[in-house]
Amino acid sequence: MPLSSTWTAGAPAVHVELNGIAMKRATMLATLQKLGIASSFSRPSVGNDNPFPEALFRTAKYRLWYPSRTFASLEDAAAWVAMFVEWHNEGHFHSAIRFVTPADRHTGKDVAILENREEVYQHKHVARIHTGGVAPRAIGRDRLSCG
pLDDT computed for residue 46 by the predictor: 58
pLDDT of amino acid 122: 86
The full set of domain ranges for the chain reads 4-40, 51-92, 102-143
Number of C-beta neighbours around residue 109 at 10 A: 13
N residues, the chain = 147
What is residue 39's predicted lDDT score, i.e. its pLDDT? 67
What is the chain's alpha carbon radius of gyration, rounded to the nearest angstrom?
25
Tell me: pLDDT of 101 over 60: yes
pLDDT at position 103: 94
* Cβ(2)–Cβ(8) below 8 Å: no
Q: Which residue has the higher pLDDT, 13 or 145?
A: 13
- Angle, helix 74-90 to helix 51-61, in steps of 10 degrees: 100
Contact predicate 42/33, CB 8 Å: no
pLDDT (0 to 100) of residue 33 = 76
Tell me the pTM.
0.52
Q: What pLDDT is stored for residue 123 in this prediction?
A: 84
pLDDT in tens, 64-73: 888 888 999 9
Structure confidence by residue, pLDDT tens digits, 46-59 = 545 667 777 888 88
Report, in this order, helix, strand and coil percent for the chain, each rounded to 5: 50, 10, 40
Q: Which residues of 49-77 are buried (b: 16+ CB within 10 A; e: fewer)?
A: eeeeeeeeeeebeeeeeeeeeeeeeeeee
39 versus 67: which is more confidently predicted? 67
Q: How far are the Cα atoms of 3, 5, 22, 40, 98 from residue 37, in angstroms, in the given order?
A: 17, 12, 15, 10, 43
Average pLDDT, the chain: 74
Does residue 5 surpass a pLDDT of 70?
no
DSSP conformational letter for 47 = T
